[in-house]
Structures are given as structure tokens and as C-alpha cells.
Amino acid sequence: MDEGRASRTAIATAYFRAHHCKHANPKIFEDSLAGALLRADDVASLERFLLAGVAKHNPELAASGADRETRIGLALRGLVVVLARARFTEERLAEAMRDGAAQYVIIGAGLDTFALRRPDLRERLRVIEIDHPATQAFKRGRIRDAGLEPPPNLHFAPADLERESLAEVLSRTPFDRSRPAFFSWLGVTMYLTDAAIRATLRSLRSVSAAGSQLVFDYLDRAVFDTADPSPARARLFETVRRVGEPMIFGFDPAALEAELAEEGFRLLEDLGPEAQSELYYRNRTDGLQPTATAHLARAAVV
């Protein structure tokens, strides 16, 4: 990731949530504030980028006279896990809160709007957002520009997690190690090395009370099998490489339970594309389908 610049993928995922909220019906996830954090120039530059990708990779569609919206919608299809993971997380967080969780740590928050959308939780949930300093500064500026007020239960923790452990970062925040917490780690694992993944899990485990939970999304390691790259996969990988955030990591679903157990976690759920389809994509007429290689996982600290 470019040190001095806000994460391009964080802006792109917010754009997708905003686009879906505006255009899709029924909605997989309703992020009513993502659009407020984007300026017209962010939107224009992302749309130019997406349309250039369509022109390059789908020349027939580009030449077919399909309108701009259709072409942008097509470009976004491969990113649909962005919506499913946000929905999965907020549903599981609500369940964890019913079981007593009162702190929520968002690792690599990007332009996540949960705390802004849920002022009703300000007395019941402490929210801690950890993100790269450049991305977090960008987000705080956009919250101000939009005339929004961060609620008092939202705590920002700028940090480069390549240089600092999660435990060190949390020690600077009101995080309470003695009480169960809920953590999300969305859209991040695919950009980290194996060592960084393990270090983050270990660090999270070291500061968490038993019963704390972590949700994350991951790519099936098979996607890195270069013997048979699908065109959709090749397009996505090239796109993220072009913006300086290459995808490099995946778990093997068959080994996930054992790998998490080694770090002190019990796997509670691992939703592959079929399970996601059942949960979030039924009765759609717009053809949206789960991202074929993306999983949604939930684990408990033991």
C-alpha cells in the first residue's frame, strides 16, 4: 500500500456499497452513508477506472452500445463479497451484543460507516476503528466534509499494522481486555503475508477475553493456483495490482479449522459461496451471485 495515500481499495469498496444502496433491489446490504463519504471527484475517477477495465476486458460489451450504468454494474459484480461480508458481520455482531459483547474493533476499517449509521448504540457499544494513518485521516476529513459528527462511542486508532502489533495499538485505546469483544477484519487478509496473518491472530488472541469473536473474509487459496486462472480472477488481480494493493494470501478452507486452532481460536462458521447464496442471494433478478472464491468466517477465542 502507498504509505502517504488513502487506500484505493477502501474507497472502491465504499463506492460499491453506495452504488448498491442506490441502485439494487432487494439490497444485500444497505449502507445509507457510504455515498456521503465520497466526493464527486472520487466517484468520477473510480468510474473512469472501472469503465476502462470493461473496455479492456469485455470489448464486446463495450462495443455493444450497453449504457454506462450497465457497464459499471458489470465491473462491480466480482466485488459482491464486499456487501455480503458487511451484512454477515453486522448480523453476527448483533447476536454477540445480545450475548453481552459491548466493544467492537474494526481492523482495517476503511470507510466503514457502522458507527455513523448506528447512533442508537452509543450507550451500549464502544467502537474502535484501526486503520492505516493515511486512510484514517482521509476518512475523518470526509466525515467532516459531509457534515457528520462522529459519535462519542467511536474511537479512532491510526496504526500501520505491518509495524505495530494489534495489542500495542489497542493499548492506546479504551479497549477493555477483561471483557469479550467482537472484531471484524474485512477485506484485509488477502493483502497480508502469511506471517502477518499469524501475528495478527496471535496478538488479537493475547488481548482478548475468552468468548471474544472474530469475523473475517478470505480468499480460497486455490485462487492463487496460476495453472488455471479464470478470466474474472485475472481481471480482479490485475485491477488491485494496478492500484498498488496486490492480493497475495488465501486460506485453504479444508485446513482453516486446524490453522485457527493453532492460534487459539475455534472456528464457528465458514460460509463458502453456496452457503452465502442461500443466505443472501435468493430471489434476485439482477443476476448477482456470491464471489466464487471468497469465504466468510467466524471464530471464537478459546
Least distance CB 41 / ligand SAM (angstroms)? 19
Distance CA 83, CA 234 (A): 21
Binding site for ligand SAM (CB under 6 A): 1, 7, 9-10, 13, 108-110, 112, 131-132, 135, 159-162, 186-188, 191
Query: Residue 7 or residue 208: which is nearer to ligand SAM going by CB?
Result: 7
Helix (H, G, I), strand (E, B) or coil at 162: coil
Q: Provide, rounded to whole angstroms, the least separation between the CB of residue 9 and ligand SAM.
A: 4
Nearest CB to ligand SAM, comparing residues 117 and 179: 117
DSSP 123-173: TT-EEEEEE-HHHHHHHHHHHHHTT----TTEEEEE--TTTS-HHHHHHTT
Q: Apex CA 297: angle with CA 294 and CA 302, to 5°?
A: 155
Our CB check for ligand SAM shows the closer of 217 and 220 to be: 217
Task: Give whichever of 45 and 58 is closer to ligand SAM, judged by the CB atom.
Answer: 45
Q: Which is nearer to ligand SAM, 186 or 299 (CB)?
A: 186
Other C-beta atoms within 10 Å of 26: how many? 12
Closest to ligand SAM by CB, 78 vs 187, is: 187
Closest CA to 46 of 21, 18, 25: 18
* Residue listed under C-alpha cell 472502491: 12
The residues facing 154 across adjacent strands are 127
Preceding amide of 26 cis, omega within 30: yes
Q: Could you give phi then psi for residue 217, rounded to 5 degrees? A: -110, 155
Nearest approach in angstroms of CB 175 to ligand SAM is 16
Which residue of the chain is nearest ligand SAM when measured via CB? 110
Q: Please report how close the Cβ of residue 114 comes to ligand SAM at its closest, in angstroms.
A: 10
The answer to whether the beta carbons of residues 61 and 74 sit under 8 Å apart is yes
Closest approach of ligand SAM to the CB of residue 52, in Å = 20
Least spacing, CB of residue 283 vs ligand SAM, in Å: 25
